[in-house]
Structure 1
């Protein structure tokens, strides 16, 4: 536990300690000369509020749609009366082992006119074979009598899904929600590949660029007065080390707080969904 927790603790204490001491590696166990100016400066970066809004929106919308799609497809693949059920199930699973590659994927997104749109973050991530397998295995572990009783009472397939299956799948759906939310929150490669409009930059991509520019920012201010005012102010007040660490904390903390809320569902869901009882 200490090995896992210490890196997060180390990042946090260095972001609230004196920047010169942090840059020299003098802060290891306790914060020194505590201040919070690093967070104030980073949060004032140009474009950060919009990028945060984009990331929150893609995380919420993407997670909800992925959970619903995984739940419905996982449920349908347990229905023997589904037309060519085994064919479609294998068609979905095979995508876990084979894919066309980056260039064909980009061409597909471009032909679908999804590049430079918000939906390029959402649509490709809705159907996740691994999540579908988890839900399918979980549904198969449920008593078949529940669905049969609902069908005897006249419930159709959608009624059974919404009113019988979905309410009883909370643990596995929470597990899928965690997987999806973490993936959406941490993703920046799709922005790098598909997005050129700065208004659609995700938080992780924007902060990733600042991390890469941390050293050059400080050097740029020393050698030239040109450049963005926001970037120059950040570089003069902070060191490259403080920029990297503060940005890392901002990226990690929000999703780190979400995980404990789903912890009890996650453990139960991953165990039941992975091994049929």
Structure 2
């Protein structure tokens, strides 16, 4: 083995070791606070008040979670969050796919105008007050559909799908049309199945956004029956009460607002964290779309 090969192998090992060290540090910076939140949420109020622990609690208790689930509105909020995220993701992805499919066709009349209009929406918006007046004029205030209709369209997602549709061989579409398939059948039977990686990537990003969104509720919803989990979390965090004492039978169990906050954070975060592994393989391949050109 010559000197260049030895030097190249040494450089490669140093580079890999550097990458591993950096990624390990970044992982620890991310994981340690998360672990501390989980452990703190499982700690008693007395242990939280004393503090002084990072990796393991001095006294474990499920009272923080019992306090959260004793509030019956948390289940309604969970149902609203799941409903708006599921329906919002499905409608958003399907609507963006329809627009992207149409704009991927060069023979579409007015295509350039539609593209310019879409690009404008990526850089400019009407602002908070005009948007509120629009939502009000559409009758969407205090309506579940305020979570769905305004979030239907994103030109950024349309661009991703449009570029993916352009890479589908024209022969597939032509052969389907020769067999008598119309535009809808071509779109649903050919383009949708072939674009699952891109659509799963968009669904993941949009789902996280839908699940974490509470500003829509803050601006447009006053009916507490339509509050999602994130709004309930917001209410818990802004509570001024610092400590509460609860009697269960003959045993006095202490909980703090901080403990209830942390338990609520874990409850609201867990579903979206569990969803990521299910879409991971689609997410990775979707992010690689267009990265390699042959």
Normalising by structure 1, report the TM-score.
0.89
Superposed, which structure 2 residues align to 1:36-185 within 5 Å? 36-185=62-211
The CA deviation string for residues 99-145 of structure 1, in whole angstroms up to 9 with x for no partner, is 01000000000001000100001000011111111111111222222
Structure 2's unaligned 5+ residue stretches are 1-26, 247-252
Of Structure 1 and Structure 2, the greater strand share is in 2
Q: Over the residues paired in the alignment, what is the CA RMSD in angstroms?
A: 1.9
In the alignment, structure 1 residue 34 sits paired with structure 2 residue 60: yes
Number of aligned residues:
262
Structure 1's unaligned 5+ residue stretches are 223-228, 230-235
Measure how far apart 1:273 and its partner are.
5.5
Structure 2 contact 67–260 (Cα < 8 Å) conserved: no
Measure how far apart 1:157 and its partner are.
1.1
Classify the secondary structure of the residue corresponding to 2:289: helix
Residue 200 (structure 1) aligns with: 226
Measure how far apart 1:64 and its partner are.
0.5
Classify the secondary structure of the residue corresponding to 2:71: coil
Q: Which has the larger radius of gyration?
A: 2
C-alpha distance in 1, partners of 2:129/2:200?
Answer: 33
Residue 264 (structure 1) aligns with: 281
Structure 2 contact 44–60 (Cα < 8 Å) conserved: yes
C-alpha distance in 2, partners of 1:195/1:207?
Answer: 15
C-alpha distance in 2, partners of 1:20/1:27?
Answer: 12
Residue 265 (structure 2) aligns with: 248
Alpha-carbon spacing, 1:121–1:153, altered in 2? closer, same or farther (3 Å)? same
C-alpha distance in 1, partners of 2:85/2:100?
Answer: 22
Runs of 4+ in structure 1 deviating by more than 6 angstroms, as ranges, are: 274-277
